[in-house]
Chains A and B, each alone.
Chain A
Amino acid sequence: MASSSTFRAARVRRLILHVITALCVFFVLAPLVVVILNSFSSVSYNKFPPPGFSLKWYENIFQVPEFGNSAVYSLVLAALSTVLATVIGAMASYAFVRGRLFAKGLISGAILASLVVPKIVLGVGLFVFFAKIGGYGQLWSVVVSHAVISLPFVVTLVSAAMVGLDRSLEEASRDLGASPFTTFRQIVLPQIRVSITVGALFAFIVSFDQLESTIFLLKPGTETLPIALFNYTIKHQDPTVAALSSLMILFSVALVIVAAVLLKRGNAMEALRRTQESQK
């Protein structure tokens, strides 16, 4: 009797867990699904369910020149800052893991500190700085700002992967007369390729989604996509935002699929787990 009642209790528990999980999934997906439904609405005001079907909001995206320009600007910006953060982040990671340096903790603390600073504080601070030294509104100043923000992600991911490397391979390469650069390229790089890819992917996503840190750095007229969208949302209420948002959701899903393929190929989950452990 006792065993059948515990069995029943386990089933009830499983049911409750399923219901709660379903509610959580619903909560996460609801606003995204609603955005997509709303993008096909036939009316400009908010009405659910939409009274009719139309594609005019998708056409309307192309009537707003800021969207196209800002999308290009965002992609260029994210690409440049990703390259910058990934290259110097990988260099710094190698120095942290292999180099003999004093004040290592202090330096890595300085590199990781931007994670803790509220993004809006960082944004206003950088704006005041660039307004003062004269770089305000220029691409390079936004690129370095985004590189500062994505650098911690690259450094934690890549150095976690380097910690697990067998040092004797590098020593053998050096003993056989290879230069440090050749050793890095031929021995180290192939082993940490996955972590560098994941780090670069993180850097790209982080840069592409920056708003709080960036909104002051750009002159009106040159905007990133999230900022153009933000300004439009504050001013207008029509589903053009929904149409553009749907396209961005589609882009994210495509990105997830690409990431999943990459993760499957390399043991990236293992790399992520090691990152977590190294932070303890």
Chain B
Amino acid sequence: MTAATSSKPRGRGRSAARARSAAAGWFLLLPALLLVVLFFLVPMVIFFRYGFGTTEDNGIGDSGFTLEHYKSFLTDGYYIDILLSTVKIAAIATVFSVLVSYPLAYAMWRTGSDWLRVTLGVVAFLPMLVSSVVRAYGWQVVLADHGPLAWFLDVAHISDNPPELLFQTSGVVIGMVHMFLPFVVYPVYTSLQQIEPEVLESSSDLGASWFTTFRRVTFRLSLPGLVAGAQICFTLVLGSLVIPSILGGGRVKFLPVTIYNDTSSVEWPIASVESTVLLVGALAAVLVFGAVSRRTKVK
């Protein structure tokens, strides 16, 4: 639009070339557009339609219109419990992901040795390449009775009565933090890297202690990366099924698990309502984190 208004067409040759270029553009874009419309947007719309379908006549809910499913979701304490538990797990997992990722990214940034930086980088990203099922299984073994954690606590004489983490919210959170760590480390590291060394030098030249410099300069300047990482982590947690299934063992209330179960038992309308709620939650998170991110940008 701007290109068309800013430069006036000069003669027929130019405008013909421009039309050809636009046609070529659409031709190149067409496969991607078809793929996304046919196999992403249309399926989503059809699926959300089920949330409003009546189940009286033939039972699967692709016709009629009712708000009954939404009403039962929003008024039933059972669903509200699941929703609150889901948000709680996502929030705690995000906070801990940031707490573990920040020192890792900070060390990658501050270390003088290239070898250590590459090693830390590989360590941070290696889990991303290992299937989520493998990692969930690994934590199941670590946290189990008679597992390595219990063994360590016993041998180190810390406790001979290990804490119960498996099939609890805490176990699910540990698995989530491990799962989504790389997605927080990378943006934090990128924003730390963009800090100019002169800024830090002038802060300490002006007599600021390390802590003051960190708090008022480094941390402030790395906030956009931190917020971006937290947003990615929060959204990814909302979509995960493997960790809560394997580490929650059916005892931890988590919306994706409920969606999985309801879809398996062909209760599509309520699965559709739950999915819509989850999607709205994810979009709300994007908006909130986006607003926070804009406020943290330093000019």
Residues of A within 8 A of B (CB): 9-10, 13, 17-18, 20-21, 24-25, 27-32, 34-35, 38, 45-49, 84, 87-89, 91-92, 94-96, 98-102, 107, 110-111, 113-114, 116-122, 124-130, 132, 144-145, 147-148, 151, 155, 180, 205, 208-209, 211-212, 215-216, 225-226, 229-230, 233-234, 241-242, 245, 248-249, 252-253, 255-256, 260, 273, 276
Complex: how many Å from CA A259 to CA B138?
25
Asked if B137 and A233 make an inter-chain contact with CB atoms under 8 angstroms apart, the answer reads yes
Given A46-B146, A121-B275, A128-B46, A34–B259 Cβ distance below 8 Å? no
Please tell me which one of the listed residues A48, A100, A110, A230 contacts residue B18 in the complex, with CB atoms under 8 A apart: A100
Asked if B275 and A151 make an inter-chain contact with CB atoms under 8 angstroms apart, the answer reads no
Asked if B275 and A125 make an inter-chain contact with CB atoms under 8 angstroms apart, the answer reads yes
Q: How far, in Å, is B154 (CB) from chain A's closest CB?
A: 10
Chain B contact-residue range equals 35 or more
Asked if A128 and B141 make an inter-chain contact with CB atoms under 8 angstroms apart, the answer reads no
Given A38-B141, A48-B148, A119-B240, A107–B210 Cβ distance below 8 Å? no
Asked if A216 and B3 make an inter-chain contact with CB atoms under 8 angstroms apart, the answer reads no
Contacts of B238 in A (CB 8 A): 118
B87 within 8 A of A: no
Asked if B263 and A118 make an inter-chain contact with CB atoms under 8 angstroms apart, the answer reads no
28 A-B contact pairs sorted by A residue (CB < 8 Å): A17-B107, A30-B142, A32-B130, A34-B142, A46-B141, A84-B35, A95-B26, A99-B25, A102-B1, A113-B36, A116-B235, A116-B286, A117-B239, A118-B256, A119-B239, A120-B259, A126-B39, A128-B47, A128-B268, A132-B62, A144-B39, A148-B39, A211-B132, A225-B131, A245-B131, A245-B138, A249-B134, A273-B190
Please tell me which one of the listed residues B21, B47, B140, B151 contacts residue A125 in the complex, with CB atoms under 8 A apart: B47
Asked if A24 and B18 make an inter-chain contact with CB atoms under 8 angstroms apart, the answer reads no
Please tell me which one of the listed residues B38, B104, B142, B279 contacts residue A121 in the complex, with CB atoms under 8 A apart: B279
Given A48-B146, A111-B36, A120-B239, A101–B29 Cβ distance below 8 Å? yes
Given A212-B256, A233-B133, A49–B43 Cβ distance below 8 Å? no
Contacts of A121 in B (CB 8 A): 239, 259, 275, 278-279
Among B35, B134, B135, B210, the one with the most A-chain Cβ atoms within 10 Å of its Cβ is B134
Q: Which 8 A-B pairs have the closest CB atoms?
A: A99-B25, A31-B138, A118-B239, A129-B43, A125-B47, A92-B32, A252-B129, A95-B28
B9-38 vs A: 1/0 string, CB under 8 Å?
Answer: 000000000100110111011011101111
Complex: how many Å from CA A107 to CA B37?
10
Stretch at the interface among B72-80, B118-126, B195-203: B118-126
Asked if A10 and B4 make an inter-chain contact with CB atoms under 8 angstroms apart, the answer reads no
Complex: how many Å from CA A114 to CA B283?
12
Complex: how many Å from CA A253 to CA B134?
14
Q: How far, in Å, is A83 (CB) from chain B's closest CB?
A: 12
Complex: how many Å from CA A230 to CA B147?
20
Asked if B46 and A129 make an inter-chain contact with CB atoms under 8 angstroms apart, the answer reads yes
Given A35-B141, A101-B22, A225-B131: 9 more A-B contacts, CB < 8 Å:
A48-B141, A110-B40, A126-B43, A127-B263, A128-B272, A144-B39, A215-B241, A226-B131, A242-B137
Please tell me which one of the listed residues A25, A117, A209 contacts residue B282 in the complex, with CB atoms under 8 A apart: A117
Given A100-B4, A118-B256, A124-B263, A226–B133 Cβ distance below 8 Å? yes
B38-67 vs A: 1/0 string, CB under 8 Å?
Answer: 111111101110100000000000100000
Q: How far, in Å, is A247 (CB) from chain B's closest CB?
A: 10
Considering the complex, give the chain B residue whose CB is closest to the CB of A245: B134
Complex: how many Å from CA A31 to CA B136?
8
Considering the complex, give the chain B residue whose CB is closest to the CB of A260: B122
Contacts of A47 in B (CB 8 A): 146
Which B residues from 71 to 122 make CB contacts under 8 A with A? Answer: 100, 103-104, 106-107, 110, 120, 122
Which B residues from 187 to 224 make CB contacts under 8 A with A? Answer: 187, 190, 210
Given A20-B103, A24-B103, A118-B279, A91–B40 Cβ distance below 8 Å? no
Please tell me which one of the listed residues A38, A100, A229, A256 contacts residue B126 in the complex, with CB atoms under 8 A apart: A256
Complex: how many Å from CA A92 to CA B35?
11
Considering the complex, give the chain A residue whose CB is closest to the CB of B118: A260
Please tell me which one of the listed residues B41, B123, B137, B147 contacts residue A245 in the complex, with CB atoms under 8 A apart: B137
Q: How far, in Å, is A15 (CB) from chain B's closest CB?
A: 12
Complex: how many Å from CA A24 to CA B122?
13
Asked if B44 and A117 make an inter-chain contact with CB atoms under 8 angstroms apart, the answer reads yes
Please tell me which one of the listed residues B41, B187, B268 contacts residue A110 in the complex, with CB atoms under 8 A apart: B41
Asked if A226 and B132 make an inter-chain contact with CB atoms under 8 angstroms apart, the answer reads yes
Contacts of A46 in B (CB 8 A): 141, 144-147
Contacts of A24 in B (CB 8 A): 100, 103-104
Complex: how many Å from CA A242 to CA B73?
39
Among B32, B134, B138, B241, the one with the most A-chain Cβ atoms within 10 Å of its Cβ is B32
Contacts of A125 in B (CB 8 A): 43-44, 46-48, 275
Given A17-B107, A117-B282, A148–B100 Cβ distance below 8 Å? no
Given A25-B120, A120-B239, A144-B39, A92–B126 Cβ distance below 8 Å? no
Q: How far, in Å, is A56 (CB) from chain B's closest CB?
A: 17
Contacts of A151 in B (CB 8 A): 32, 35-36
